[in-house]
Amino acid sequence: MIPQTSGAETPEITLISQSSSKPMTVRDIQVFNGVITSLAVSEVNNILLVSTRDGTVTGVNLQDLQPLYAETFVNEPRSLVITADQNTFITASDKEIRLFNLQDGVRGKRWVAHAGKITKLALSPGNELLASISAEDGTAKLWQLKEGSLLQTFGEHTGPLTAVTFSPNGKLLVTGASGTDRTLKFWDTEAFALIRTSPQQPGYIYDLAITSDGNKLVAAVRNTIKIWDLNTGQELLTVKAAELNLNAIAVSPNNQWVATANKEGTISLIDITQGKIIGTLKGHKGWVTSVMFSDDGRYLYSGAEDKIVKIWDFQGNQP
């Protein structure tokens, strides 16, 4: 997948490395009426999904960067995930989980999932399990996706749940919380049991990701990136990523880089093998709210308060 048109071309951005400066180009998509809240991409279908605070999920054609469809909601859609077969996307609106056809946005199954607003969703790699968390009702729920049936409710966190992710094999679910809780909890998705709880973190946990090899857990904790060995629970490194808090993170496909969406309006690129910031991407105005890598690592997609999605092209310098 390579975007063919630029939308609004911006000046060249420079990726800062220790040895040299590497040129980048960035393409803008400026068709949205609300603040960008989440992103998902299907490169098989050349579709980028964008949810915005005005209550819309837009499907964008990545060939010409123009909208294919827009689904509107009474309440703000939160979190976007695409099934592994690339046929369906899932979002949450208020207390409901909703399914849509990815190609044309036609609405499918929906159900009430929580007693409070849903914060985030996570989908297991095999499409079998869907996890939902709610900061308002303080629970994480595990669903059998095909039937939309509830398998288990986890209510052991004492603070608002803010982050959730699956391991690559789907057998482990990790949740993170804010408030006075500020812990990570590790759940066995087959036995529906709590495996362990982390020590309390020094700040709110804003986002979580597990590397594709299943070896490392990456977390955005206040304004830092923290990384643990997923198998032993040993903390491996901590890197201060910004002056202000982090909204979201994305791990590159080769598990070497982490991109952070910062409240100061920039994207930090961190080499997690070295524990160093190796680049800063500037160009958004206002908080950057969402980031994600393409499957091959060439592109980074970002969305922000400025109602713009940017596609950063690493060209031959993929992370």
Q: Where are the domains of the chain?
A: 201-312
In the numeric block, which tokens belong to residue 45? 């279908």
Average pLDDT, the chain: 91
- Phi first, then psi: what are they for 316, rounded to 5°? -85, 5
Q: What is the mean pLDDT of residues 174-192?
A: 97
Residue 317 — pLDDT band, cuts 50, 70, 90? low
Residue 66 burial (CB count, 10 A): 12
Identify the pLDDT of residue 28.
96
Residue 127 — pLDDT band, cuts 50, 70, 90? confident
Identify the pLDDT of residue 25.
84
Segment 261-312, tens digit of pLDDT: 999 999 999 999 889 999 999 999 999 999 999 999 999 999 999 999 999 9
Residue 18 — pLDDT band, cuts 50, 70, 90? very low
Report the predicted TM-score, pTM, of the whole model to 2 decimal places.
0.92
> Is the model's pLDDT at 7 over the cut of 80?
no
Integer angstrom CA distances of residue 50 from 54, 79, 269: 12, 10, 22
Residue 20 — pLDDT band, cuts 50, 70, 90? very low
Identify the pLDDT of residue 12.
36
Q: What is the mean pLDDT of residues 157-174?
A: 96
* Closest listed residue to residue 40, CA positions, set 254, 202, 248: 248
Identify the pLDDT of residue 316.
61
Q: How far apart are CA 124 and CA 170, in angstroms?
A: 5
Residue 23 — pLDDT band, cuts 50, 70, 90? low
Neighbouring residues of 133: CB distance < 8 A, sequence distance ≥ 6 = 118, 119, 120, 139, 140, 141, 161, 162, 163, 164, 175
Q: Which residues does residue 134 pair with via DSSP β-bridges, in sequence order?
A: 139
Helix and strand numbers, DSSP H then E, in the chain? 0, 30
**What topology is assigned to 201-312 in CATH?**
Methylamine Dehydrogenase; Chain H (2.130.10)
Q: What is the mean pLDDT of residues 167-194?
A: 96
Q: What is the mean pLDDT of residues 50-64?
A: 97
Identify the pLDDT of residue 4.
38
Identify the pLDDT of residue 156.
93
